[in-house]
Amino acid sequence: MSMPVSRDDKGPGAPLPPTLVFVAGFLVGWWLHRRLPFSIDGDGRGPVQTVIGLALIALGGVVFSWGLTTFSGRTGIMLQRPADTLVTSGPYQWSRNPMYVGYTAMYVGAALLANMAWPFFVLPLVLIAVLLAVILREEGYLRARFGDTYEAYCRRVGRWL
């Protein structure tokens, strides 16, 4: 659904870029691991852990990229830009936030590859920060911008999966 964009429309805005939240959360987990080592496997990362970690990073990268390319050229990608189209195709058919699902998969995969447990304990804080600082703003903006069309989309498609 395409809508004319007002000059005053600044987009949903967000105090923090989602990428920064995920990277900062992972770095906090890494810092904690350096101070108080807490490995997933005390004997070191094994082949199963390696394969799962690599698979999650690859899958997350694909999901993130698919979400990004589906957005590209259809509406504003940056949170400080207005949305002129409600994107509901591609990965947006099964998740309202496939790029954040992709980030989450890559974060988990990286923690597995690094054999660090701390990032798993930080991850809920990362997801809460993304929800409060980004997703709820996006949803409020899209609800105001697209009204009933967005409400119907929310009833069909979950926030995460």
pLDDT tens figures, 58-73 = 999 999 999 999 988 6
Alpha carbon of 126 to those of 10, 73, 87, 148: distances in Å? 25, 29, 25, 30
In contact, 158 and 96? CB cutoff 8 Å: yes
Split at pLDDT 50, 70, 90, the class of 10 is low
Q: At what angle do helices 18-35 and 118-130 cross, to 10 degrees?
A: 160
Q: What is the pTM of this model?
A: 0.91
